[in-house]
Amino acid sequence: MTKIKETSTNFENKKLLAEECLEVYASGIIGGQWTLAICCYLINGKLRFGELKKCLPAITERMLTLQLRKLEENKIVTRTVFAEVPPRVEYELTPVGYQLSTIIKNLEDWGRKHKQLMKS
Amino acid sequence: MTKIKETSTNFENKKLLAEECLEVYASGIIGGQWTLAICCYLINGKLRFGELKKCLPAITERMLTLQLRKLEENKIVTRTVFAEVPPRVEYELTPVGYQLSTIIKNLEDWGRKHKQLMKS
DNA sequence: TAGGATACTATCAAAAAGGGAAGTAATGAC
DNA sequence: GTCATTACTTCCCTTTTTGATAGTATCCTA
């Protein structure tokens, strides 16, 4: 999750696919390793940076920051900074962010079925 | 898409997340760069290796093979080899594979909305 | 005046994903 | 006997993502 190289074949491929295939586009946006997990927690209401970190004990601060920035860029969360010391920053889903709940639910259902199937 | 290192922190994190979060589990399975695109084409019926390749002009044979193998491992597609020369191999979605259609549709709808939003 | 709280940022390294090009096996057509 | 066809496999390299660790700023408290 750093800068992307706009000359790589990989970049081109991603762009092309996302252009002609809305589901690929969507999965590119919510497909980061922690993205969905973060959204899951935010769906129950806004959370501070530190609270999210507690929800995801294994995430590093760097990763959490990167993912939140990406979500913010993609207008899926809003970031509100309170001018206090120590600082307080709250993250909340936007309307499009909340609209992910259907997808999340479907993924959950499908995931359950699939997991069951793989066990047998 | 090569071997994964079962000792890496990354591997551990993925495992943990997938265990406690079915939507993360699901997105890990269908989240490859070409996975959803492949499923999209297969949803209309079985296709041969070469036909898939034509559907995705930019994919390399290597990648297509890897993705299909992963899909097969995850019981999302079946692979049927016909003992002919030149060889013929057909790929078809399994029932769970077909059940992805809901998710694909959701992603498509959400993607459309999101894309619209980002333009404004 | 040293330490704590919070939300980061910076730097370096490792792992994972993806790409390019060439090679393989079997057989029928020419 | 050479070529074409098909579905791969191999090897090596680049790009992208993720992890580990160590800072930074500000003010309040003890």
> Which stretches does DSSP call E strand in chain A?
47-48, 77-82, 88-93
B1: pLDDT strictly greater than 80: no
Angle at B43 between CA A10 and CA A110, to 5 degrees: 85
What pLDDT does residue A5 have? 84
Collect all residues of chain A within an 8 Å Cβ-Cβ radius of residue B25.
Answer: 111, 114-115
Average pLDDT over residues A64-86: 96
What pLDDT does residue B71 have? 97
State the CATH number of the domain containing residue B36.
1.10.10.10
Residue at A15 is within a domain: no
Average pLDDT over residues A96-108: 97
B16: pLDDT strictly greater than 90: yes
Residue at B23 is within a domain: no
What pLDDT does residue B6 have? 87
Average pLDDT over residues A40-69: 96
Quick check: A33 CB within 7 A of strand C?
Answer: no
Quick check: A10 CB within 7 A of strand C?
Answer: yes
* Cis status of the peptide bond prior to B86, with omega within 30 of 0: yes
Residue at B65 is within a domain: yes
Stated in angstroms, how far is A58 CA from D20 C1'? 12
Residue at A11 is within a domain: no
Average pLDDT, chain A: 94
Rounded-to-integer distance, Cα B109 and Cα B103, Å: 10
Residue at B68 is within a domain: yes
> Which stretches does DSSP call E strand in B54-115?
77-82, 88-93
Stated in angstroms, how far is B96 CA from C20 C1'? 34
Residue at B113 is within a domain: yes
Q: How far does B65 lie from chain A, in Å, by closest CA?
A: 17
Q: Which residues contact A19 (CB under 8 A, 6 or more apart)?
A: A25
Average pLDDT over residues A14-31: 94
What pLDDT does residue A2 have? 66
Stated in angstroms, how far is B11 CA from C15 C1'? 9
Residues B17-64 pLDDT 10s = 999 899 999 999 999 899 999 999 999 999 999 999 999 999 999 999
Residues B100-117 pLDDT 10s = 999 999 999 999 999 999
Rounded-to-integer distance, Cα B96 and Cα A113, Å: 8
CB B61 within 8 A of CB B78: no
Q: Is B63 near chain A, with CB under 8 Å?
A: no
What φ, ψ does residue A91 adopt, rounded to 5°? -115, 135
Domains contained in chain B, number: 1
Partner-chain contact B106 A110, CB within 8 Å: no
B93: pLDDT strictly greater than 80: yes
The nt closest to A60 (CA vs C1′) is D19
**Burial of A112 from C-beta contacts in 10 A (0-12 / 13-18 / 19+):** middle
Rounded-to-integer distance, Cα B23 and Cα B20, Å: 9
Residue A34's alpha-carbon distances to A69, B63, B101, in angstroms, are 12, 24, 24
The nt closest to B11 (CA vs C1′) is C15
What is the value of pTM for the model shown?
0.93
Residue at B114 is within a domain: yes
Residue A94: give the domain boundaries.
31-119
Residue at B24 is within a domain: no
Rounded-to-integer distance, Cα B14 and Cα B45, Å: 32
